[in-house]
Structure 1
Amino acid sequence: MKTTTFRLALFAAASASALLAGAASAQTALPQDEPTTIDEVVVTGTRAPNRSRLDTLAPVDVVTSEDLQNRGTTELAAALSQAVPSLTFQRPAVVDGTDSIRPATLRGLSPDQTLVLVNGTRRHASALVNVNGSVGRGSAAVDLNTIPSGALDRVEVLRDGASAQYGSDAIAGVVNLRLREAREGGGATLTLGGYRTTVDTARAAPHDEDDGGTVTASAWQGFGLGQDGYLTLSAEYLKRDATNRSDLDPRVSPAAITARFGDPEVEQWTVFANAGAPLGNGWEAYGWAGYQDRDSESAAFPRLASNANNVAALYPNGFLPKININSQDLSLAGGLRGEVGGWATDVNLVYGRNALDFRTENSLNATYGAASPTSFDSGSLIYDQLVLGLDASRQYEFGLYAPVNVAIGLEARRETYEIQAGQPESWNRGPLGGNTALGGGAQGFPGFQPGNEIDEDRTAVGAYLDVEAPVTEQLTVAGAVRFEDYSDFGTSTTGKISARYDFTPSFALRGSVSTGFRAPSLQQQYFTSTSSVIQNGAVVETGTFPATSTVASLLGAQPLDAETSTNYTLGGVFRLGNFNLTVDAYQIDIEDQIVLSELINRSFSPQVAALLDPLGVQAARFFLNGVETTTKGIDVVGRYRLNTEAYGDWDFTVAANFNDVEVTKVPSSSSVLNPVPPLFARSRIETIQQGTPDTKVSGNADWSYGRWGLTARATYYGDVLQPGSTAAADYSTGDKTVFDFEGRFQPNERVTLALGVDNAFDEYPDAVPEALNSNGVLGFPYYSPFGFNGRFVYARIGLNW
């Protein structure tokens, strides 16, 4: 299915490019003073000044603060997924911490293969490692929802490999969050919403649900610092109730909903400040700071009254464990920019820290019996990053059509990663621990043990050279090379060559070839989480071990190496008047991708048992290199703006992404084990290949006339597969189209009132079949790229001054 779709898309794009080339050749040059297109100046993907979105050598999407505001969701990641066709933000559930720290993917690749910047500087990742069965399993990605939309002026998404320009992680592309810079003015927004939906699962009769009530209050204010400086403050408060889309549980009589499968309950507040002030002699000091505190509570699988791990004295009717995560996210940055010897110079220091504190609520440790606590401190994950950057650029006259832009830079980075153990009852086996039928630790989410505690760090230094040269009036070429040295895994050198040829003022071709890399994260190198079980009367461990541990080494693990990639892009840009169209085809070949292995149990073979038994381990899994993929696709973005006196102003956008991911190689054990245990299951392969939509097409229309405004949006999502352990256990979302509408009215210049509905026709992914849902927990596939909560109705009032 994916291959057929991709070939059709490739043929259509090639045909369109040929037609556009012919049409462009027939056009005469437009007068220079006639507005041609909507050209936003961008800074991502190019270090040349004043380069517009349509003049770049690689495709860049620009999402403005207004684009982010005129929609129902107030989550940045969800809003970007609606605005950028190649970006997907799924809403996984019952996968522990990933319920709360949800990753976004670009072009169907791993979430950590997209670099996230803030004002052009590297953003720190989350401390969470996605270790359960969600898209992005094994990754530790940046949490986009730690930055409120109100703090942003715009977001630039570079859809091209850029490791040679920005360093590790930029395999799929780059998301650059540009903070608002305001000396005056301000605004406040209050958004109220909730789901008003009819739920139709496989077993239960259709029933109405009103849940997920959401309140978001945000504000920003600009202040002048001196004559030309600025200080922009922003704050946001969010409170969201949980949703539940579970099916009936056939294990109870009569059948009833026993689980909670949906969005977690969330309460968070975020503050941001962004400032800059001139110092004289052309120098400026700048900096920003942000802090977010988020409490999120999701649910694990239910424990019925008859469950062996239930204690009737505590929960006579069974219990539903809750997983609470408190996320504290901090970022601080300061810098100076000015001119040194003709070089525009920027030096900055950026610090970021993410701390996750886990609690398991409404639970118990069965090995303590009726004396068990019901609330547990389950431990913490902490990651921080300190980055010192120096960038300098200068233009040289070499007798070419225009000056050659030369940029050089250095970067030094220090990262640390820490795991802290939970309280003893969260992981220990208590007085009843000799009973092999009882699971040790807190039910739902066992705590980190003292043996899991780690405190590791590493350093990395890098240097780059970036040159962009307009060779003729029509031809521009660029090249970049970057060298990086890591204290743990070694060095990497990447390069990139780009070119653009403007056949006419209306039509251009652009393309690039680049190599990329992604260093193994500290989270992947050192994350460990184990639980205790009874084997032959002895306590043994089972869980995730570092690749460098004795356990993993005996099973064939090697120290992790960097992922590497080769990226190819070729596209065309067509613009005429207020219409523009970009078509960009790409191929991304990735080698040595890092993944989490399957759990290797001692029962697999006598040889495995002989290796694990002396270590007191029953089963182990670990991170390893070895997956190779080829991703092919096409991005199409068209925009037309029409301004009329009689019928108002119109802005039309159509955007599409056609994407095909193929796994070409999977890892095999490098140990002497024979037979080799399965290291990467079929379900993991299918998740990479079919876990994100192969086709995503969105159409958006914005209309404004006087005090009235309207937005209408339709997004088509191709079928997504949620794989099971065998092909017979697979289920999918189906091909779906989601419609969103918003109406706005301004009673005066300072007030905007809006009413809207996302998913207006209450579209759901296909329900999980009864035969594949023995406990009723999963009502719908959580791989769904548009979620599984149904219609969302909201109202918003905005003030500006």
Structure 2
Amino acid sequence: MIRNTRSVLTLAVSALALSAGGALAQSAPDPQATEVEEIVVTGTRVANRSRLDTLAPVDVVTAETLENRGTTELAAALAQTVPSLTFPRPSVTDGTDSIRPATLRGLQPDQTLVLVNGTRRHASALVNVNGSVGRGAASVDLNAIPTGALDRIEVLRDGASAQYGSDAIAGVVNLRLKEARSGGGLNVTYGQYFTEVETARGSRDEEDGQTLTVSGWQGFGLGADGFLTLSAEYLQRDPTGRSDFDPRPAAGGAVTARLGDPEVEQITVFANAGAALNAAWDVYGWAGYQERDSESAAFPRLSDNVNNVAAIYPDGFLPLIAINSQDASLAGGLRGQIGGWEADFSLVYGRNALEYRTENSLNSTYGADSPTSFDSGETIYDQLVFGADFVRGFEVGLSGPLTLAWGLEARRETYEIKAGQPESYNRGPLGGNTALAGGAQGFVGFQPSNEVDEDRDAVGVYAEAELPLTDKLTVQGAVRVEDYSDFGDSQTGKLSARYDFSPAFAIRGSISTGFRAPSLQQSFYTATSSVIQNGQVVETGTFPATSSVARILGAEPLEAERSTNYSLGTVIRLGDFDLTIDAYRIEIEDQIALSENITRTFSPQVAALLDPLGIQAARFFINGVETETEGVDIVGRYRLNTDTLGEFDFTVAANFNDVTVTEVPTTTSVLNPAPTLFNRQRILTFEEGTPDTKVAGSVDWDYGRWGASARATYYASVTQPGTTAANDYFTGDKTVIDLSGSYQITDRVGVTLGVDNVFDEYPDFTPANLNSNGVLGFPFYSPFGFNGRYAYARLSLSW
């Protein structure tokens, strides 16, 4: 880790000074020598502002960039492109294997707001409750939107709660859908892994993870100037296995586990439309639906396992956790003018339903009569958002118009948990045997006592102003007030400024406060299982902070997380070269975390509290974690056009990031002292679970019908922590090389061949002494995964 990030910030400030000196010494760039910059709408309400003219850093990722990646997962493609975004691939972590969260600037996944066409996207119904990066978060599933439906993605790397509301602590990801009246395209991509797996106990060759993706879109005209753009994607992926050899005698030296990507089959459809109603008003809307079936593995049960039933599985079994995810969204809106104001009214609905099944399993307390396939329950989250936004420019006699914006957002959210079939959670006829675990092996089903059906309302109003005070100085300010029916209100503000010393050089900075409301998933998630204690059936598991179990242990209703963000940056433009350097500091208070288990054996006091309730152990979500994050983002780009060798586009992007946990909760309102509520594994996951340094360099070449890309990405070592320092293991410092080449056979037909991770780079394997069952062959905290070399071919059609 960066042990003294203040030195990094000092270097960044020095770089700003050097850049200023160099840029001011240059003549202004020739306007004819630069390309038209990408226009952005995220972080500003001023029209026609480019990414290099913004008051805060914004990355623009085009659809073409996404389609040139080997992976067809949106989150993975973004992580390869945006230096401050990380997408780990957790495995053997239950539902998180299938709904994997991404992080921005090393913060929690739910501290980044995701928008679609500028409106709030709904979160997943999944809560990450196991030992992965993002534990405790309920975040947006980026992979629920296909890359083929997108025109571009804007990533605002700055706190923006005052502009957009809850969750925008680390920044904002705005997914902008295609708007096409005509034309279309089809991509067919096939790839798989060809790799040598070198684990602590030996090596083997694998050819797996076969993936087929078919993605297409078509534009249609609506009226004189309207559009309807339809897109669809089908994906089928076989699982991968990167576990080590199992050393236990009953395993016979085989690989018995399946650490890796889950098996996935999904289909996604999207529609985006807009048309003029009259000269003053437009109507627009979009709709999307995805159904994903995924299947990941739990820990293996060998033939001699006490919870195996030899009559069913004489050789043992590997439980599989299957999730059917149904994700739907529907939006409509009107855009026009009211009294000189540009008005935009929108209504957006989103829903995610996760149905859990436990396959290839059994409930050992039913013996030979146990089912082997279980309905394990369902979680559902939905939200309905109404937005009204108004923008107007006023001529005030300065260097440009005063842009005023104001509006409101009203939101209703619901969250449900539905129980599974009784055999998925019950203790059967053999349940009196304390050696046997009740419920489906691998994933215990939700019980009737876990069922919830909760909702809440939230209303927010904001005002924003942006004003060029001179032809060089622009300032922006925003304030927002939100009120939630469950925890109260929150007020946030932001002040930004930019000074252009010349067309070649500018500095920018901002200070803002932010917040993240506790999600309904965090407030009400419940999952318990039954165990035998002194001959009695008692429960253990996760309880809502407002439940009688949690309250008796001193839990309190969750409150909002709060942050203060500072940033300072520079923008340099010299002809076909541009460079941005942005330093930042993010202070977060009252972060929400999932506590460790509080067991009755901790003290007589805890036993006296839990025993009357029939509870052996309980955990719940709590406020109280405080962090400081400091870092620097650097993005440089140079475009070179030659007469004989074609066009080159060089990019170097880097993120240096340091997260420090400064405070953790140590007591509850009842327990003082309390057992450890936030242990070293959770602290180190915050501090060292994502790379403190990530540097990516790429070159894209285009010459007539030929094209090629080369990319190298360096990842600093990440720690996957254990209960003690002796149990930690590390990914190591790694560099991953990706290569691809393309040829345009005709104006409409092209082919691409590529290899990601050309040199078959892996994170350091898990030491044998820390992997007694062989399951965790590699640390799944790895920011680039742990699957090895991936080769692919793509056929592209356009019309």
Tell whether the structures are fold-level matches, with TM greater than 0.5: yes
1:25 is aligned to 2:16: no
1:249 is aligned to 2:246: yes
Instruction: Show the counterpart of 1:399.
Output: 397
User: For the residues of structure 2 that align with 1:748 and 1:488, how far apart are their CA atoms?
Assistant: 59
Instruction: Give the deviation of 1:11 after TM superposition.
Output: 4.1
Instruction: Show the counterpart of 1:326.
Output: 324
What's the C-alpha RMSD, in Å, of the aligned pairs? 0.9
Q: Can you list the C-alpha shifts for 1:601-629, whole angstroms capped at 9, x where unaligned? A: 11111110000000000000000000000
Structure 1 residues 463, 160: closer, same or farther in 2, change over 3 A? same
Q: Can you list the C-alpha shifts for 1:159-216, whole angstroms capped at 9, x where unaligned? A: 0000000000000000000000000000000000000000000012x21100000000
Instruction: Show the counterpart of 1:676.
Output: 674
Classify the secondary structure of the residue corresponding to 2:745: strand
Instruction: Show the counterpart of 1:657.
Output: 655
Instruction: Give the deviation of 1:7 after TM superposition.
Output: 4.9
Matching residue's letter, 1:3? R
Matching residue's letter, 2:217? W
Structure 1 residues 37, 18: closer, same or farther in 2, change over 3 A? farther
Among residues 235, 246, 250, which one is paired with 2:232 in the alignment? Answer: 235
Instruction: Give the deviation of 1:281 after TM superposition.
Output: 2.3
User: For the residues of structure 2 that align with 1:145 and 1:182, how far apart are their CA atoms?
Assistant: 22
Classify the secondary structure of the residue corresponding to 1:274: strand
Is the contact made by 2:182 and 2:220 (CA closer than 8 Å) also made in structure 1? yes
Instruction: Show the counterpart of 2:634.
Output: 636
Among residues 546, 562, 573, which one is paired with 2:560 in the alignment? Answer: 562
User: For the residues of structure 1 that align with 2:675 and 2:708, how far apart are their CA atoms?
Assistant: 57
Matching residue's letter, 1:29? A
Instruction: Show the counterpart of 2:710.
Output: 712
Question: 1:680-695 to 2 correspondence within 5 Å?
Answer: 680-695=678-693
Instruction: Show the counterpart of 1:96.
Output: 94
User: For the residues of structure 1 that align with 2:236 and 2:455, how far apart are their CA atoms?
Assistant: 35
Instruction: Show the counterpart of 1:45.
Output: 43
User: For the residues of structure 2 that align with 1:569 and 1:22, how far apart are their CA atoms?
Assistant: 21
1:734 is aligned to 2:732: yes
Instruction: Give the deviation of 1:575 after TM superposition.
Output: 0.4
User: For the residues of structure 1 that align with 2:579 and 2:266, how far apart are their CA atoms?
Assistant: 39
User: For the residues of structure 2 that align with 1:432 and 1:495, how far apart are their CA atoms?
Assistant: 60
| Larger displacement relative to structure 2 (635-644 or 665-674) | 665-674
Instruction: Show the counterpart of 1:133.
Output: 131
User: For the residues of structure 2 that align with 1:405 and 1:36, how far apart are their CA atoms?
Assistant: 27
Instruction: Give the deviation of 1:17 after TM superposition.
Output: 1.7
| Structure 2: gaps of 5 or more residues | none
1:291 is aligned to 2:289: yes
User: For the residues of structure 1 that align with 2:441 and 2:133, how far apart are their CA atoms?
Assistant: 24
Q: Can you list the C-alpha shifts for 1:536-568, whole angstroms capped at 9, x where unaligned? A: 111100000000111111111110000000000
Q: Can you list the C-alpha shifts for 1:666-717, whole angstroms capped at 9, x where unaligned? A: 0122233243211011110000000000000000100000100000000000
User: For the residues of structure 1 that align with 2:670 and 2:6, how far apart are their CA atoms?
Assistant: 42
| Structure 1: gaps of 5 or more residues | none
User: For the residues of structure 2 that align with 1:202 and 1:12, how far apart are their CA atoms?
Assistant: 40
TM-score of the pair, normalised by structure 2: 0.99
Instruction: Give the deviation of 1:12 after TM superposition.
Output: 3.6
TM-score of the pair, normalised by structure 1: 0.99
Is the contact made by 2:28 and 2:574 (CA closer than 8 Å) also made in structure 1? no
Structure 1 residues 755, 176: closer, same or farther in 2, change over 3 A? same
Instruction: Give the deviation of 1:16 after TM superposition.
Output: 2.4
Question: 1:440-479 to 2 correspondence within 5 Å?
Answer: 440-479=438-477
Among residues 31, 34, 44, which one is paired with 2:32 in the alignment? Answer: 34
Instruction: Show the counterpart of 2:412.
Output: 414
Is the contact made by 1:600 and 1:620 (CA closer than 8 Å) also made in structure 2? yes
User: For the residues of structure 1 that align with 2:271 and 2:745, how far apart are their CA atoms?
Assistant: 31
Is the contact made by 1:196 and 1:792 (CA closer than 8 Å) also made in structure 2? yes
Instruction: Give the deviation of 1:38 after TM superposition.
Output: 5.3
Is the contact made by 1:191 and 1:215 (CA closer than 8 Å) also made in structure 2? yes
User: For the residues of structure 2 that align with 1:229 and 1:79, how far apart are their CA atoms?
Assistant: 31
1:83 is aligned to 2:81: yes
User: For the residues of structure 2 that align with 1:233 and 1:37, how far apart are their CA atoms?
Assistant: 30
User: For the residues of structure 2 that align with 1:727 and 1:491, how far apart are their CA atoms?
Assistant: 41
Instruction: Show the counterpart of 2:573.
Output: 575
Q: Can you list the C-alpha shifts for 1:462-502, whole angstroms capped at 9, x where unaligned? A: 00001000000000000000000000000000000000000
Is the contact made by 2:318 and 2:361 (CA closer than 8 Å) also made in structure 1? yes
Structure 1 residues 153, 307: closer, same or farther in 2, change over 3 A? same
Is the contact made by 2:668 and 2:674 (CA closer than 8 Å) also made in structure 1? no
Instruction: Give the deviation of 1:9 after TM superposition.
Output: 3.6
Matching residue's letter, 2:27? T
Instruction: Show the counterpart of 1:622.
Output: 620
Classify the secondary structure of the residue corresponding to 2:20: helix
Classify the secondary structure of the residue corresponding to 2:557: coil
User: For the residues of structure 2 that align with 1:463 and 1:66, how far apart are their CA atoms?
Assistant: 36
Instruction: Give the deviation of 1:35 after TM superposition.
Output: 3.6
User: For the residues of structure 1 that align with 2:50 and 2:33, how far apart are their CA atoms?
Assistant: 14
Instruction: Show the counterpart of 1:3.
Output: 3
Instruction: Show the counterpart of 2:211.
Output: 214
Instruction: Show the counterpart of 1:603.
Output: 601
1:199 is aligned to 2:197: yes
Is the contact made by 1:507 and 1:574 (CA closer than 8 Å) also made in structure 2? yes
Instruction: Give the deviation of 1:117 after TM superposition.
Output: 0.0
User: For the residues of structure 1 that align with 2:24 and 2:428, how far apart are their CA atoms?
Assistant: 79
Classify the secondary structure of the residue corresponding to 1:19: helix
Q: Can you list the C-alpha shifts for 1:723-742, whole angstroms capped at 9, x where unaligned? A: 00111100000000000000
